[in-house]
Amino acid sequence: MFMKRMSVYLLVTAALISASAAQAVDRDEYVDSVILILRTHTELMESMAQGTRFRYSDNLVRHANQIRDTFGLLGPMEWHAAQAAALHSAEGDVVLNEEKFESLAFASRRSLTNLVRAAHDSMVQYDREGLLEAIANMKQSCMNCHALLPESIAPRVWDVPQGK
């Protein structure tokens, strides 16, 4: 399973690079590919922290760094903020304004920094629980913002669609 995931990751990365060079990737395809990379690194970290692949624990920090760097490819993207500035509920109440959006984006960036730190701590101090908590907090920070937005604006990153 590990090799299959790594192969998928490498294929997606190669596709992104070649598609980027050709400038032929549409937004949805690009976002889906980046989300796959995020999910793959996160699932591998969770698996390693739960003991099924702890022999690769020296890679935890690398995976955490990749999650942080991949997050930077997607979000928060400027189109999120532009959409958020005018996002209202059906009743006309403001659901998410720019200030709230920036606060949520900052929380996500902080959770990514904490994830990298927790990955390092889990390697040095064997703190698996702290790592799993940091992963859960990172996912929650994404969901806190995305839950306020329509899926057409911000896809549900941690909800794995059926058949994928």
pLDDT in tens, 121-143: 988 888 889 999 999 999 999 88
Q: Which domains does the chain have, with CATH numbers?
A: 2-146 (1.20.120)
Nearest alpha-carbon partner for 71 in 113, 125, 9, 131: 113
Torsion, Cα 6 62 21 11, to 10 degrees, reads: 0
- Give φ, ψ of 95 to 5 degrees: -90, -40
pTM across the whole model? 0.75
Give residue 9's pLDDT. Answer: 56
